[in-house]
Amino acid sequence: MGTATPVDDETGLIAQLRAGDESAYEQVVRTYGGRLLAVTRRILDSEEDARDVVQDAFLNAFRNVDRFEGNSKLSTWLHRIAVNAALMKLRTRKRKPEQSIETLLPFFLDDGHHEERFRSWEEPVDIAMERAETRQLVRAKIDELPESYRTVLVLRDIEGLDTEETAKMLGLTANAAKIRLHRARQALRTLLAPHLAGPASAKAGETPGGKLS
Amino acid sequence: MRCRELAEFLMDYVSGELPAENREHFELHLTRCRNCREYLVQYEGCVKAGRMACDEQSDELPVDVPEDLVKAVLAARKLDPSS
Ligand SMILES: [Zn+2]
């Protein structure tokens, strides 16, 4: 049982876990560990912390497997435990001084206009995101966001939590969570735009496909 | 409404939470300002891109867990008195 394989019989696996079957623990770690690591890496920027958190999450899950209710999937349950463990880690570890987000927000002239003239992206985002390299780029840029903004963006836009849940998990007011999400999205746009914009010299109307109007 | 205010209201507009009166001003500005239309498209694009890039089903996310992590978890579990 060396590699990650989809679990056909979750109920059987859970029964084995509850019975303390050693091979079941291993199967769970091999099956879900990689995905959980991807999740904790997104929240924490230290590889060591991300791994520690995955380990904590599994131990926590194994301890509480009796409380697992069959109405959600095992993967969903583990995912939630890992997210919670990652947030706990964020809260307890020493805050690193954080890069300011100001330089990644739009600048305005005195008359209230944007300072920048935004260049259209080369193709619609759905098309661009079909390429693995673009997806990789987006993940890398999310990782570049200052931590307190990245976590809000991850919880809201990627994990799909609502404002209230996000605020609660991070110990923020709902309003603060909203402001941070907005800034995080704007900052992500600033980071992505140079990579997604069409060529500066493109003659109007000549770029094939993907006109964003 | 100027570009500066429009940028401020963007999130509420996108989520449909902008009050009707502000929405009117917002949309009026959009019809007149190409730059803000482009900004809106890119803002929404980023939300979508983030979601799509981190989709758990997407092929390139690691499915295999590092071997040393597997070993560490299983070893820690054996030592865990409460499991
Ligand atoms: Zn404008």
Which of A71-75, A203-207, B1-5 shows the lowest per-residue confidence on average (mean pLDDT)? A203-207
pLDDT tens for residues A73-118? Answer: 888 899 999 999 999 898 887 777 788 999 999 999 999 999 999 9
What's the pLDDT band for A69 if we cut at 50, 70, 90? confident
Which of A87-101, A126-140, A152-166 shows the lowest per-residue confidence on average (mean pLDDT)? A87-101
Tell me if B36 and A114 make a contact (CB, 8 A cut-off): yes
> How many whole angstroms separate alpha carbon B69 and alpha carbon B72?
5
Which listed CATH number (1.10.10.10, 3.40.1780.10, 1.10.4190.10, 1.50.10.20) goes with A102-196? 1.10.10.10
Q: Nearest chain B residue to A191 by CA: give it.
A: B46
Whether A114 contacts A106, CB under 8 Å: yes
- For chain A, where do the domains classified as CATH 1.10.10.10 start and end? 102-196
Distances (CA, A) of A135 to A71, A143, A185, A195, B54: 32, 12, 16, 12, 8
Tell me if A111 and B76 make a contact (CB, 8 A cut-off): no
The conformation of residue A87, written as its DSSP 8-state character, comes to H
Which of A60-64, A74-78, A165-169, B56-60 shows the lowest per-residue confidence on average (mean pLDDT)? B56-60
Left (φ > 0), alpha (ψ -120 to 50) or beta: where does A127 sit?
alpha
More confident residue, A168 or A208: A168
Of B4, B38, B69, the CB nearest to A118: B38
Closest CA relative to residue A79, chosen from A16, A152, A155: A155
What's the pLDDT band for B80 if we cut at 50, 70, 90? confident
Mean pLDDT of the region A119-147 = 93
CATH 1.10.260.40 corresponds to the domain A10-92: no
Percent of residues, chain A, with pLDDT higher than 90: 62
Of A54, A59, A139, the CB nearest to B53: A139
Beta bridge partners of A108: A114
Radius of gyration (C-alpha) of chain A in whole angstroms: 21
> How many whole angstroms separate alpha carbon A73 and alpha carbon A80?
11
Q: A27 to chain B: which residues are within 8 Å by CB?
A: none
Q: A35 to chain B: which residues are within 8 Å by CB?
A: 56, 61-63
Residue A210, pLDDT > 60, answer no
pTM for the full predicted model = 0.83
Q: What is the pLDDT of residue A1?
A: 39
Residue A2, pLDDT > 70, answer no
Tokens representing A125 are 């985002």
What is the ipTM, given to two decimal places?
A: 0.88
Tell me if B56 and A178 make a contact (CB, 8 A cut-off): no
Average pLDDT, chain A: 87
Closest CA relative to residue B65, chosen from A113, A58, A32: A32
Residue A147, pLDDT > 60, answer yes
pLDDT tens for residues B11-63? Answer: 999 999 999 999 999 999 999 999 999 999 999 999 999 999 987 665 556 56
Mean pLDDT of the region A30-59 = 92
**How deeply is A155 buried, as exposed, middle or buried, from its count of CB atoms within 10 A (0-12, 13-18, 19+)?**
buried
